[in-house]
Chain A
Amino acid sequence: MRKQVIQIENLTKVYQNGFKANDQINIHLEEEEIVGIVGPNGAGKTTLIRQILGLLKPTKGKILIHGKDTLGDQRIIKEEVGYVPQIPLSYPAITVIDTIRYALQLEGLYGKQLQQKLDMTLSNLGLESYANVPGYQLSGGLRKMVLLAIALAKKATILLLDEPTSMVDIARKQDIWKLMKRLQKRSILLASHDMNEVKKVCHRIYILVGGRVIAKGSAAEIAQMLKMPVDIEIVPINADYIMPILQKESILWEQEGSLFRISLQELSEGIELLKELINAGGIEYLMMESPSFEKVVTNLVQTNAQ
């Protein structure tokens, strides 16, 4: 196993009004790993991230960054963690370029090196044409891009991204995904509602509902976690051979001209059936909706919310 950069043990957060937003959470993040946190609104994702950052005080449990407990001494957070908040914040009176320059200066850069890194960051995030715009004039999505630029300007080994692409247009989103995958020597914890994003970039995913981790694994593992029904539409080359197979299998199906709609309990049954049909005579047309990651997550969340 690779080195763990964040270890969270039995983390519980009860807000001052008595609301339990995180309940015995155990998660970890390894070196150069991208881990997703998925869950409905109010699941406790932001609460979790704010505790890692030392912005909220945990009620119980431990947070270790590079093996060091962050509760007593927060220096390691400042040095090792970059953060993109969920809220599209900006320094209202300060221009984009000044904001990013300051972030780089705090890393000890100056002179030519500073200028180079500044130009690179601006162009990486497509912010060149906004360089001299003050924060208050930026749109929501652009603010998020600037926040991402600040986070990337840090040499920090860990990035905590709270819905970094939530207001960002699709082209920029794809740029961010590419960028995230390109980053080396960094580990990312990513809270997101975008299943596509999570599936694309995350090595592992935790599903958070009501403050508790209810499932974890890779996107593929999670997609197989529940037995989800599969719908198949086929047009056989020759309708004669299909009848005996469908009747034999005692499965649900209906016919519409040459098109057959077949419903099965799970994916493996579907694959078996298709093999049989192809061997028997072949198919002309196939449409199959396999149990997607999205569907399983929705299902897990719904059953656990009850």
Chain B
Amino acid sequence: MLFEIKGMKIFWLQIFMSLFVMPTAFLFLALLRIGPDSEEVAFLLSGFIVASLVGSFFGALALRICNLMQIEVLELYSTFALSKGEIISNMAFTYALFALPQILISIVVLAFTSPSFNAFLMSFSILWVILLIALLAVWLGLVVRNYYYALGIFPLLAWISILLTPAYYDMAKLNPIFQMVLFINPITHCLSLLRIGLGLTPPLHFLWSLLYTSILFGLLLILTLKRIKDIYILEKLF
């Protein structure tokens, strides 16, 4: 674990930018809107948390998983007494750690500005969402496998799934077809889980989202565990 973090030294600028500077800039924008309407702040900040998890944590982790399938990387790791499962969970944990600072900042701001802030629900949701997004990233990384394809896929995928999430706009104002699309997007449900701790999600929606993400989590877990056993050097690059 510590070793993985030490090894990331060379990426410090990239990590600093994508996991800290960029989201912090968003956070700043969201804070600019703090006014008498604290509900709007809660709405934007919760949107920001999910967007930053998807935009930086998800993308970076999924890319890293694909990176593992490259000869040099897998060979290097296999010189140590590490199983493939251990390597993957170390990576997920490390990237999650890097994503935490700005999320914590947002949560602190929320705690002070949102009147219906519920610390218990908030921490439960945030942990659950991080876990789900990590699993999603690992699974997709293991499916795509090819790092060069991944470079083309994941940034776009992250961008689209944020777009199709009511992070910064109100879902109720969309037409029903779009609402359906948004409802399929698991990120929408992550958001709805987060907003319960801010009093922004109706309890019924919360239950639906919990059910949806739980089923998805179980399914992904099975698929991922299967795929972890099947991690090999990528034999074909193009």
A contacts, CB < 8 Å to B? 15-17, 50, 53-57, 74-75, 78-79, 82-85, 87, 89-94, 98, 102-103, 106-107, 136, 147, 150-151, 154, 156
Alpha-carbon distance A136/B72, docked complex (angstroms): 14
Within the assembled complex, what's the spacing in Å between the Cα atoms of A107 and B82? 10
A89: which of B9, B10, B76 is its contact (CB, 8 Å)?
B76
User: For residue B143, which residues in chain A have a CB less than 8 angstroms away from its CB?
Assistant: none
Q: List 10 A-B contacts (CB under 8 A).
A: A16-B236, A50-B75, A55-B74, A56-B232, A89-B75, A89-B79, A93-B6, A93-B10, A103-B81, A106-B80
Give chain A residues whose Cβ lies under 8 Å from the Cβ of B79: 82-85, 89, 103, 147, 150-151
| Besides the known contacts A78-B83, A150-B79, 15 further A-B residue pairs in the complex with CB atoms under 8 A apart | A17-B236, A50-B75, A56-B232, A56-B233, A57-B230, A78-B82, A83-B75, A83-B78, A87-B75, A89-B72, A93-B7, A94-B3, A94-B9, A102-B80, A103-B79
Closest B-chain residue to A83, C-beta based?
A: B79
Q: Does chain A have a CB within 8 A of B235?
A: yes
Query: Across the interface, which residues of A come within 8 angstroms of B76, CB to CB?
Result: 85, 89-91
Question: Given known contacts A93-B9, A94-B3, is B75 in contact with A106 (CB within 8 Å)?
Answer: no
Which are the 8 A-B pairs with shortest beta-carbon distances? Answer: A93-B9, A16-B235, A93-B10, A106-B81, A85-B75, A89-B76, A16-B236, A102-B3
The answer to whether the Cβ of B8 comes within 8 Å of any Cβ in the partner chain is yes
Q: CA of A17 to CA of B238 in the docked complex: distance in angstroms?
A: 11
Measured CB to CB, the closest approach of chain B to A267, in angstroms, equals: 43
Interface-centre pick from A15, A16, A89, A147 (highest chain B CB count, 10 A): A89
- CB <8 Å contact, B78 and A154: no
CB closest residue in chain B, given A53: B78
Q: A89-B76, A94-B7 are in contact. Are A50 and B233 (CB under 8 A)?
A: yes
Q: Contacts A57-B232, A87-B72, A102-B3 known; A107 to B81 CB distance under 8 Å?
A: yes
- Residues in B whose Cβ lies below 8 Å from that of A106: 80-82
Q: Give every chain B residue within 8 A of A75 (Cβ-Cβ).
A: 83
CB pair A78 B232 closer than 8 Å: no
Complex alpha-carbon distance, A150 and B82, angstroms: 12
Whether the Cβ atoms of A78 and B81 lie closer than 8 Å is yes
The complex places the Cα of A294 from the Cα of B9 at a distance, in Å, of 47
For B3, B72, B229, the residue with the greatest tally of chain A CB atoms inside 10 Å of its CB is B3
- Chain B residues with CB under 8 A of A98: 3, 6
Contact of A55 among B9, B78, B82 (CB under 8 A): B78
CB <8 Å contact, A56 and B82? no
Task: Please give the distance in Å from B220's CB to the nearest CB on chain A.
Answer: 22
Residue of B3, B6, B74, B80 touching A150 (CB-CB under 8 A):
B80
The CA of A92 and the CA of B12, in the complex, are separated in Å by 13
A55 contact set on B, CB distance < 8 A:
74-75, 78, 232-233
0 or 1 for each of B49-73: is its CB under 8 Å from A? (1 = yes): 0000000000000000000000110
Task: Give Cα distance in the complex from A88 to B78, angstroms.
Answer: 14
Q: How distant is the Cα of A289 from the Cα of B212 in the complex, in angstroms?
A: 79
Q: Please, how many angstroms separate the alpha-carbon atoms of A156 and B79 in the complex?
A: 11
The minimal Cβ–Cβ distance linking A178 to chain B, given in whole angstroms, is 22
Complex CA distance for A15 and B235, rounded to whole angstroms = 7
In the complex, what's the smallest C-beta–C-beta distance from B103 to chain A, in angstroms? 26
